[in-house]
Amino acid sequence: MVRTIELNKRQEKILEIVKGNGPITGENIAEQLNLTRATLRPDLAILTMAGFLDARPRVGYFYTGKSGTQLLTENLMKLYVRDFQAVPVVVKEQSTVYEAIVTMFLEDVGTLFVVDDSVCLSGVLSRKDLLRASIGQQDLNTLPVNVIMTRMPNIAVCEKDDLLIDVAKNLLERQIDCVPVIKKTAKGFEVTGRVTKTTISRAFVSLTDDDH
Ligand code: ADP
């Protein structure tokens, strides 16, 4: 919960009181507002969870001094690939363009990853790669995907412990929709997941969840 603009009037008042008088006990805040401690409990919990206030046992609440932007940044820095990645959809290098198009529709994804005989990443196929191949004169039933794919080592990848914000920057810089999540092995890159613009949107929206 990092939406500063959504603090209610009472929460704003509590912040003011703690700013001016902290460290202060919940009891004392309640007294100043003419409310019971129980009434205030949810507000204090929200303000603490959001990072505006900190609570020390036997001391009370104090103001952390962090701005909404700082708190938002702190929360962004907790969003990792491993917690949001989607399942990857792969095809073999020998698959035909026709088969790849069918897979893209059946699996309802916008990007396919191509793997070699040792099941390691060798290429990427986007919607436009397949469209481009389709408007040529080639026979889609015999044309293998490895002729038209974007191939290694030019593929942008990420790993499960990367921050989503770094992946988002890479998607923007490279003007692509998706990167594979890979695990480095002796044979190459094993494809373990997928991060797309939808993944980034989902993570972005998750920042507004109260239980984030
Ligand atoms: P679309 O073609 O649907 O616009 P993209 O913007 O993702 O989709 O793809 C643009 C080009 O970039 C395509 O040729 C595709 O093969 C390539 N591409 C897609 N993903 C990656 C990636 N992770 N690394 C390198 N190139 C990629």
Query: What domains lie within the chain, and their CATH numbers?
Result: 9-75 (1.10.10.10), 81-205 (3.10.580.10)
Angle between helices 26-33 and 37-49 (to 10 degrees): 120
137 lines ligand 1 (CB under 6 A): no
Kindly state the average pLDDT of the residues 92-112.
Answer: 98
156 lines ligand 1 (CB under 6 A): yes
Query: What is the tally of helices (H) and strands (E) in the chain?
Result: 9, 8
Q: What is the pLDDT of residue 67?
A: 79
177 lines ligand 1 (CB under 6 A): yes
pLDDT > 90 in the chain, percent: 82
pTM to 2 decimal places: 0.80
Mutation probe of ligand 1 site: the residue of 122, 126, 135 with most atoms within 8 A of C-beta: 126
Residue range 126-173, pLDDT digits in tens: 999 999 999 988 899 999 999 999 999 999 999 999 999 999 999 999
Residue with the two structure tokens 């481009």: 132
Kindly state the average pLDDT of the residues 15-28.
Answer: 92
Per DSSP, 88 falls in state P
Give CA separation, 96 vs 126, 138, 177, in Å: 14, 11, 22
Residue range 55-81, pLDDT digits in tens: 988 889 999 888 778 888 888 999 999
Mutation probe of ligand 1 site: the residue of 124, 154, 159, 169 with most atoms within 8 A of C-beta: 124
128 lines ligand 1 (CB under 6 A): yes
Kindly state the average pLDDT of the residues 173-199.
Answer: 97
Q: What is the pLDDT of residue 62?
A: 93
pLDDT > 70 in the chain, percent: 96
Please give the number of the atom of ligand 1 that sits closest to the Cα of 149: 16
Picking from 122, 119, 109, 117, the residue whose alpha carbon sits closest to that of residue 157 is: 122
- Judge contact between 180 and 157, C-beta under 8 A: yes
